[in-house]
Structure formats: C-alpha cells, structure tokens
C-alpha cells in the first residue's frame, strides 16, 4: 500500500527546492484606529460581507513589507520560505519538518484531497460546512458522507464517529465551523481524533481559530499518525489576496504532501511570505482586530435579533442566522444597497451567513435590511 502511494505521488508531481536562512527586517507597529482602516479600500462603494475577509487588513507591517521588498521579487529567494517556516514552527510549538506552505490553505486542502484519494473509499464532513475544496475528493471517486449538525448548529462528533468505517479515508472538521461559527471544544476534539486517527486521516481546518482563545491542536500532531492541521493568513491576518496558508502534520504526512507540490513551499510568492513574516510580529494589529470584531459582531447580532432573525453564537468573523421570520426579501435588500452577502445554506430555516465588517459597514447593512 505505502509503495503504491509513493509511486502515485511521484507520478503526479514531485519537487524539492533547496532552502537556507533569511535575515528579515522587523518593523514597529503604529497605533491604529478604525478611522485608519476606512481609507484602505473603496471598491465602487460595494460592501463586501460575503467571503469572511478581514476589513482591517493587511497589517501595517505586512503592507510595509510588501512595499519595502518589491525590488527583490525578481529573485526566487528560497531562504524566505525557511525563515517563515522557522517562525511558524516556534509559534505553533512544532518542528520545522512539521510544516508545509501553500497558496492559501486551499492549496493544502487540495493536496490532502489528492493524497487520500489513491484508494477508493469515503470521506466524512459536517453538513453544512466548508466544502468547496471537496470537489477534488468527488472527482477522484470518493463517496461523501454528510453528517448533520446538532440542533444548536454544532458539529456532531459522536455522529461522525458512528459513520466512520474501514473505508473512510478522511474526516474533515472545520473548527470553528464555516458557515455556522460554532466551535468544538479542544478536549472533545482530542478525544475524537485519538479514537479514529490510527486508521483514518483527520483534517482539522483552523482557518478561524485566531478569532477565539482556544488552543490549536498543532502540538499533538506528532502524538498521532494521521492528524493534519491547516491554517491560513487569509482571515485574521488580512492576507486573503496574498494567498498564503500552511499545513501542520507529522513528518511522514508532510513528506507525502510535499511530493504533490511541484516546487516545495514555493507556490507562495516571496512578497506574500515576507508579508506573513511581518504579520506574525504585529501583535497589536491582531489584538485590535480581535476586539473590533468582537464589538461589531455583538452589535450586529443584537440588531438582527430585533428583526426576528435567530442568530447562532459565533466564534468567528461571521454570523449565521435564520431568515425564517424575516418579513422582507433579504437578498433584494442587499442587492439594492450594493452589499455582497452570503447564500442560503439550509433551506429548512433559511439559514444564511454574513461577514462581520467594520462598524460603519454593519450599520449600513442593518439599515439596508430594516
């Protein structure tokens, strides 16, 4: 089995680049207010509340890194990847061999999908959850086993456990979950992965964990055979368009995913990697974004409830709410006011999602749907 897997990985792409160490500048972070962020974008007065982007980003340090290092983008600068991996390993309490960079966590998810698809079988995912990337699993012939959420819109770990069988190649858990914003407690997740990770790969997507105080599962990847953690700079760090994310797993899994990349750790541009390095140093920006998101999210939930919209308690930068008792054409109201919002995820209850923007944006959103 393992020899077949290695041969297959070799056939569909193998690339390893030599890398060294980099000296990267660090910058002091200026004091920020919401007024500072208001000048960052003006896309023809559109209000973007659809894709869970950070309305306050990128970090001032990241933007400075983009500008100050533009002149070196004519070189590949392999050493920058090494520096970023070193910084991430320290932050996530793992070894450098446990990390693989990708063009957003989307690339990592796609690599995992290809990796588990050598042998036919099934995969398990909550419904609804973030599933755009699973088209690769479907195209490779794996059967999707969807597990409904609990009545309070949480991922049902026990029901997932009952669905897993000898043909299950992957269990995917988005934590906190997208689109519901609910979270699985760390202790429950550790117990869950301990039970099934001997024979089945468990993929934990922590794209939104930075919006919580919960500890990552990254420090247990070397204690279990088949755990993969994915993380991204697209959300809290405001680098969605820069496309940078990464995987954390034991060395064997990282090596296998590495074999699927045509150029190891270098599908991400050098400027994006430098911006990520700078972002990790900007604790003030992260703290500011966290607090702003908390305050604006609570304001929005309070206002939605006044409009008879049931809201699910959120651990993220978006809100999941029901339009079942809302008495207007919600999507027409958004369209008439140049607001991009989410779609319907569950017909029963007409549940939808809205990104938490800046306070000024959310006040316009509330006014638009009143």
Give the residue from 263, 280, 297 where a domain finishes: 280
Range 87-115 average pLDDT: 97
What pLDDT shows up at residue 44?
Answer: 65
Least confident of 22-26, 144-148, 221-225: 22-26
Residue 14 placed within a domain: no
Range 120-140 average pLDDT: 97
pLDDT at 309 exceeding the cut of 90: yes
Q: Is residue 296 domain-shared with residue 213, that is, in the same domain?
A: no
344: helix, strand or coil: strand
Residue 51 placed within a domain: no
Q: Is residue 164 domain-shared with residue 303, that is, in the same domain?
A: no
Mean pLDDT of the chain: 90
Closest CA to 357 of 46, 43, 34, 55: 55
Q: Is residue 123 domain-shared with residue 214, that is, in the same domain?
A: yes
Give the residue from 280, 309, 325 where a domain finishes: 280
Phi, psi (rounded to 5 degrees) for 221: -65, -30
What pLDDT shows up at residue 118?
Answer: 87
What pLDDT shows up at residue 19?
Answer: 29
Q: Is residue 77 domain-shared with residue 197, that is, in the same domain?
A: yes
Give the residue from 231, 261, 280 where a domain finishes: 280
Q: Is residue 224 domain-shared with residue 331, that is, in the same domain?
A: no
Least confident of 9-23, 133-147, 158-172: 9-23
Closest CA to 353 of 174, 107, 191: 174
CA-to-CA dists, residue 153 to 4, 234, 310, 359, angstroms: 40, 24, 12, 26
Residue 88 banded pLDDT, cuts 50, 70, 90? very high
Angle, helices 251-258/2-12, rounded to nearest 10 degrees: 40
Residue 42 placed within a domain: no
Question: With left for phi above 0 and alpha for psi between -120 and 50, is residue 358 left, alpha or beta?
Answer: beta
Instruction: Kindly compute the dihedral angle of the four CA atoms of residues 34, 358, 183, 232, in this order, to the nearest 10 degrees.
Output: -70
Cα torsion angle, 86, 92, 93, 95, sign: negative
Neighbours of 219 (CB within 10 A): 14
State the number of CA atoms in the 13 A half-sphere of 351 facing the CB. Answer: 22
285: helix, strand or coil: helix
10 Å CB burial of residue 233 (0-12, 13-18, 19+) is buried
Tokens (6 digits) for 355:
């990104």
- Give 202-229 pLDDT, tens digit per residue: 999 999 999 999 999 999 999 998 999 9
Range 59-79 average pLDDT: 94
Tokens (6 digits) for 18:
């030599």
Full strand arrangement of the beta sheet holding 351-355: 318-322, 351-355, 344-346
Q: Is residue 276 domain-shared with residue 287, that is, in the same domain?
A: no
Phi, psi (rounded to 5 degrees) for 68: -70, -20
Q: Is residue 166 domain-shared with residue 304, that is, in the same domain?
A: no
Per the structure, how many domains does the chain have? 2
DSSP code at position 367: H
Residue 199 placed within a domain: yes
Per the structure, the complete domain to which residue 189 belongs is given by 60-280
pTM: 0.88
Q: Which residues contact 149 (CB under 8 A, 6 or more apart)?
A: 126, 127, 128, 155, 156, 177, 180, 182
Alpha-carbon span 145 to 161, nearest angstrom: 12
Residue 38 placed within a domain: no
DSSP code at position 342: -
Q: Is residue 307 domain-shared with residue 230, that is, in the same domain?
A: no
Q: Is residue 152 domain-shared with residue 244, that is, in the same domain?
A: yes
88: helix, strand or coil: helix
CATH of the domain at 342: 3.90.1150.10
Closest CA to 312 of 217, 195, 182: 182
Percent helix, strand, coil in the chain, to 5, is 45, 15, 40
Residue 254 placed within a domain: yes
Cβ atoms of 182 and 312 closer than 8 Å: yes
Q: Is residue 230 domain-shared with residue 293, that is, in the same domain?
A: no
Q: Is residue 181 domain-shared with residue 293, that is, in the same domain?
A: no
Cβ atoms of 34 and 96 closer than 8 Å: no
Alpha-carbon span 159 to 269, nearest angstrom: 41
Q: Is residue 146 domain-shared with residue 210, that is, in the same domain?
A: yes
Q: What is the 3-state secondary structure (H, E, C) of 28-57?
A: CCCCCCHHHHHCCCCCCCCEECCCCCCCCC
Residue 43 placed within a domain: no
What pLDDT shows up at residue 42?
Answer: 53
- Give 287-297 pLDDT, tens digit per residue: 999 999 999 99
């Amino acid at each position: 089995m393992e020899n077949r897997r290695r041969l297959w990985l070799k056939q569909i792409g193998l690339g390893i680049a030599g890398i060294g160490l980099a000296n990267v500048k660090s910058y002091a972070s200026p004091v920020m207010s919401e007024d500072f962020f208001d000048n960052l974008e003006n896309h023809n007065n559109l209000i973007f509340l659809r894709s869970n982007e950070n309305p306050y980003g990128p970090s001032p340090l990241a933007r400075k890194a983009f500008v100050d290092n533009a002149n070196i983008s004519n070189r590949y600068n392999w050493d920058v990847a090494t520096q970023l991996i070193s910084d991430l390993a320290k932050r996530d309490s793992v070894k450098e061999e446990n990390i693989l960079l990708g063009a957003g966590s989307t690339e990592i998810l796609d690599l995992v999908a290809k990796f588990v698809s050598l042998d036919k079988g099934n995969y398990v995912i909550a419904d609804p959850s973030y599933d755009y990337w699973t088209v690769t699993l479907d195209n490779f012939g794996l059967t999707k086993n969807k597990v409904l959420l609990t009545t309070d819109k949480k991922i049902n770990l026990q029901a997932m456990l009952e669905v897993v069988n000898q043909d299950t190649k992957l269990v995917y858990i988005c934590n906190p979950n997208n689109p519901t914003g609910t979270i699985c407690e760390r202790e429950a997740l550790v117990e869950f992965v301990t039970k099934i990770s001997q024979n089945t790969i468990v993929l934990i997507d922590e794209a939104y964990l930075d919006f919580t105080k919960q500890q990552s599962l990254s420090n247990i990847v070397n204690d279990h055979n088949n755990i993969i953690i994915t993380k991204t700079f697209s959300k809290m760090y405001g680098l969605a368009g820069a496309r940078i994310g990464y995987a954390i797993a034991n060395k064997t899994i990282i090596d296998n995913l590495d074999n699927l990349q045509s150029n190891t750790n270098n599908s991400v541009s050098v400027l994006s990697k430098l911006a990520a390095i700078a972002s990790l140093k900007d604790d003030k920006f992260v703290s500011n974004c966290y607090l702003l998101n908390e305050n604006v999210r609570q304001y929005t939930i309070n206002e939605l409830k006044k409009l008879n919209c049931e809201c699910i308690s959120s651990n993220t930068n978006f809100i999941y709410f029901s339009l079942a008792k809302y008495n207007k054409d919600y999507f027409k109201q958004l369209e008439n006011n140049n607001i991009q919002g989410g779609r319907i995820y569950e017909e029963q209850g007409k549940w939808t999602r809205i990104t938490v923007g800046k306070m000024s944006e959310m006040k316009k959103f509330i006014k638009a749907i009143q």
